[in-house]
Amino acid sequence: MLCPNILSICLAAATAYAAAETTPLEERATGFVTRSGTGFVVDGKAFNFVGTNAYWASGLSSGDLNSLFSQMNSAGMKVLRIFAWSDNVGGAQDGSLQYWSGSNNTPNPSAFAKQMDPIVSAAEAAGIKLVVPMIGNWGPSISLYIQQIVGSAGTHDAFYSNSQIVNAYKKYVNFFVNRYKSSPAIFAWELMNEPRCTGDDNRGKSSACNAAMITSWIRTMSSYIKGIDSQHMVTVGDEGWFTSTQGYGNSYPYSGSDGIDWVTNLKISSIDYGTVHMYPSGWGQTDDWGNMWISQHGDQAKSIGKPVVLEEFGTTNTGSRYNTINGWLNSAYSAGFSGIQYWQFVASFPSGYKSPDDGNGISTSESTYSLIKAMASKMNAKGGGGYTPITDTPGQSSSTSTPGNGGSVIHYG
């Protein structure tokens, strides 16, 4: 999903050679979620979950973070997906975890301490796991890499194929992963939010961009992360596009035209589970089609022998939302999905902050939210249910939440 104002409110990572400025979290032997066959386990027990997305969560004050995680725990939700990147051109700024001077990208440890450290700490205390994509396809994100290194003539897919860009992203990832690789709060590292050959930057794609190009990039980056951090899972963060090879037809979701071959990518040894996003109306499909999309991915994941998570889904049709979401939730459960994360969490917070809503969000005050809670209970009953949160989290504050600004002084580096 494309989020508004992504440069200022989504987080960034930083560079590898700056890793000497940071100290990884204290080693912990328990609490890490891993893959076992087509499911997840934590400390030897099955871990099935319902969760949500809150790309803006890193900007919450500590009091609002505690409120978010308390609301999730009350609903039985256990996994939160955030967006974890932001960049600026020029000197270091508190709102950006990475800054650029020409073609050189540099981390900002101070911004990390203010923005990422608090949410990791609060998640640990609350027993919430975090899915962390470290770059996005939409907005300035990968386009900024291209602009700074290649220039205006660079096509969108240069991010996957240009060796200087790939190395710049590796530096970014190295700093990020090293900083939090010992935290059990990390559920998985995600390579990108919704990788495609094209984005919304009007750069277009080169004639060389195809599924083979992006698959090669996925193999390179996932192996690189595994070389840094063997304790956490790695996933792609893609929407789940098929190709004609699967025999589902040649309409847009099955054409492979965006450079994603979901089946081939899931077979990569350094990819732990598959992700599926679903916005049928935006793809020229009916809401009912979504049930088939879910079933097809469940079948393919079982055949490959890896877990699958319905990572984003939503509908702007409020009149039929309750029945539509109910159908999708039950389809994911029946298809053997190990995780379900709706887009997105919508609520008010103690500071007065109200989370954004692009029309797909599910408010905690609407009837559809009861379906989320019911499915969370059902998934938890399959294994991994229940957590008693720590209630004496230090640094609680009722200060105003501002996306892009942290609210805690806990330091990891």
Which residue is associated with the tokens 């939700």?
77
| pLDDT for 327 | 99
| pLDDT for 101 | 97
Tokens representing 334 are 């029946």
Q: How far is the C-alpha of 72 from the C-alpha of 345, rounded, in Å? A: 9
Q: What is the CA radius of gyration of the chain?
A: 20
Q: Which residues contact 160 (CB under 8 A, 6 or more apart)?
A: 166, 195, 209, 213, 214, 216, 217
Q: How far is the C-alpha of 204 from the C-alpha of 198, rounded, in Å? A: 6
On the CB side of 105, CA atoms within 13 Å amount to 32
pTM of the model: 0.88
| pLDDT for 94 | 83
Which residue is associated with the tokens 């949160």?
389
Which sequence positions are flagged as catalytic?
A: 194, 312
* Coil/strand/helix, residue 314: coil
Residues 383 and 45 sit within 8 Å (Cβ to Cβ): yes
Q: Quick one: CA torsion of 80, 411, 101, 8, rounded to 10 degrees? A: 40
Residues 309 and 52 sit within 8 Å (Cβ to Cβ): no
Q: Identity (one letter) of the amino acid at 177? A: V
Third-level CATH fold of 35-381: TIM Barrel (3.20.20)
**Bridge partners (DSSP) listed for residue 402:** 405
Inter-axis angle of helices 163-180 and 211-228, nearest 10? 40
Nearest Cα residue to 227 out of 4, 1, 16: 16
Which residue is associated with the tokens 């500071």?
351
| pLDDT for 34 | 98
Is the bond leading into 148 cis (omega within 30 degrees of zero)?
no
Q: Quick one: CA torsion of 167, 170, 171, 175, rounded to 10 degrees? A: 180
Tokens representing 358 are 């692009």
| pLDDT for 399 | 46
Residues 35 and 233 sit within 8 Å (Cβ to Cβ): yes
* Series of mean pLDDT values for 10-residue runs along the chain (413 residues): 49 33 48 98 97 96 97 99 95 90 93 94 98 96 97 98 98 96 98 98 97 99 98 99 95 96 99 99 95 99 99 97 99 99 98 97 98 99 53 38 36 35
- Where in the chain are the domains? 35-381
| pLDDT for 61 | 96
Tokens representing 368 are 């559809």
